[in-house]
Amino acid sequence: MYRVIVYKNANDTTGQVLHEPKNFGNKVLDGSVDLLFNGVSTASFTIAMDNSLYRQSEAIANLVKVVDTGTGKAVFDGRIVKIDGSFSNTHTQVIQAEDCLAYLHDSTQVYRKVQNTSIRDFLQMIIDTHNSQVESWKQFKLGSVTVTNSTDNVYRFTDDATDTFDTIKDKLISRLGGFLIWHRDDSGQLVLDYLSSVGEHIDTPIKLGKNLKSAKREYDVRDIITRLVPVGATIQETSDNSLSGDSAQPHVTIESVNSGVRYLSDSALENRFGIIQKAVSWNNVNVPSILMSKGQDYLTNQRVGLLTWTVDVVDISLLDDSYKTFDLGNYYPIRDDFINVTEELQVVEKKIDITRPHALSLKIGTQNRTFSQYQLDYQASINYMQEQIKQSMQNNTVQYYDGNIIDVSEWQKTIDWQAVVGAGLGLAIVRVQYGSGHEDLTYKDNIKGLMQLSANYAVYSYMTAGTATEAVTEATNLYNRTQAVVGTGKQPRFYMIDVEAANGSDMRGAVESYMNQLNSLGVPDNKIVLYVANQLYTQLNLNVSRAGSVIVPAYRDTPPDHDYDLWQYTSTGSVSGITGNVDMSKNYSDRFKNQYLRKE
């Protein structure tokens, strides 16, 4: 979970809490942190009028930190840069922030010609110029520099019209690669590292059905070159035309050493993608043969495709210490059998949801691929799909739990689950509690009985909460009571919130808080089901689109008046093994069937 703290200025060491994850203090309505490589990370927080910092923040002057309460470390450290206000029925304010790397935009460089200087010394010059212009708390100390080139020196011009960050990006990162990483040392001093590589190789997999909610895999081949035109240094002319600022200057080319042809061609790429001709410059090369050699090396080592994964994951590390959280820069094996094979790729962007800390959006990859890798990957995709089609033809049936769908509580007293399952059980939804105050008298025996028979089951709570605070407590009790029985056994297919009364003035908000709390405990939205009273459906105005499914009761011959995934059609059903009446449901949607009745 995350705590957001705002500081008046660099001298304020205490700050004020903008968002407190525990059940007290200020809260944000919405909050996110976007962490980037080689760019300025940003954060955004939406607050309401009841937040004590509403309309109290000041852009640029105020600083902000987002602290992981589990580790005590800051995941975001920067300044507020923009404040927007919305003045409608509900007054809200959006506070936007950028991290400390943005301080490098607050200074400009001076014109200088740099040659025969190491990469580290060149970067030190740039940092010294920055530090001479800004306040002490914006100053950086140069840390590790591991990026190298073939000569370990640079030949550059710096521009007095360009700020420090853009100078570093243009003169170093865009030309030599590497990663610009910053951190604070033990004294709080900002430290800037320029590293050739970062990150650890982590065994925690990203896998569909475990911690991967959705994934998108993209190839971008727009930068491919099939015919390369090498361009060398400018040829100095002595004619009057050379004095015109409007005239182009000739450059060293390769015709003289390449049989009169000005380009180099990669026949394999050209056969695959056609003719795509582009020029690449080597401004310090004056010899055509050397220029040709550099062009050939470039073409040979060219990366034809930019591979990027964008994934939404559940941070299981919040629940299971054996899993590590997903950190920016680390490498993780990612697998989704419905997309392709396993690949180990680097997290290059990470989006944190402040109010739903388990939910992360990651950009993984931006990995350039050679043509041979592209071909292998392309062929692997074809082979995989052919194999899947073959297996599907051999076994085209998916197994589902079939039989009665019931929900039970202490009102059914002792249940003979052997008889219930024997009669055909599709799903049993077990009541765990009536609000926070009443623990169902039979739920422990019911869950144990179902688990012993490997039966399909879910759990629910009759909601009595009317406020966000009460909803958080009720959700916590539902989860903890369930897990106390389940332990390491088979988990319930879903957690159902039974909403049959308007217990407060904002039931939509209360249910949202209920779901948010379940999220924070590791239960994703697709494992949360809403049971909504038919006659109160419109009045309650719940966010049903967020839930994994919606169950609506209507004890009659005709279906409910509202959209549903499962229709509870009777409260007087009869099932072998249960004495007395039992609630029963039917007419499940494909979504409900595939999520909760499919055998795992």
CA 86, chain centre distance (Å): 27
Looking at residue 156, what is its pLDDT?
Answer: 82
pTM of the predicted model over 0.85: no
pLDDT of residue 544: 92
Nearest to residue 81, comparing CAs of 65, 99, 98? 98
**Neighbouring-strand partners of residue 195:** 179
Q: Report the pLDDT value the prediction gives residue 369, as an integer from 0 to 100.
A: 44
Q: Are strands 495-499 and 457-462 parallel, antiparallel or unpaired?
A: parallel
pLDDT number for residue 240: 52
Q: With contact defined as beta carbons under 8 Å apart, do 164 and 126 qualify?
A: yes
Distance separating alpha carbons of residues 387 and 341, to the nearest angstrom: 13
What is each CA distance from 89 to 48, 86, 350, 507, 510, in whole angstroms? 11, 9, 33, 18, 19
CA distance 108 to 112: 12
Query: Buried (b) or exposed (e) across 408-443, using 16+ Cβ within 10 A?
Result: bbbebeebebeebbeeebbbbbbbbbbbbeeebebb
Question: Is-contact 298 281, C-beta < 8 A?
Answer: no
Listed as ranges, residues in the chain with pLDDT below 70 are 86-90, 150-152, 204-223, 237-248, 301-325, 334-343, 357-397
pLDDT of residue 269: 74
pLDDT tens for residues 466-479? Answer: 999 999 999 999 99
Token pair listed for 235: 């040829």
Phi and psi torsions of 483, nearest 5°: -65, -30
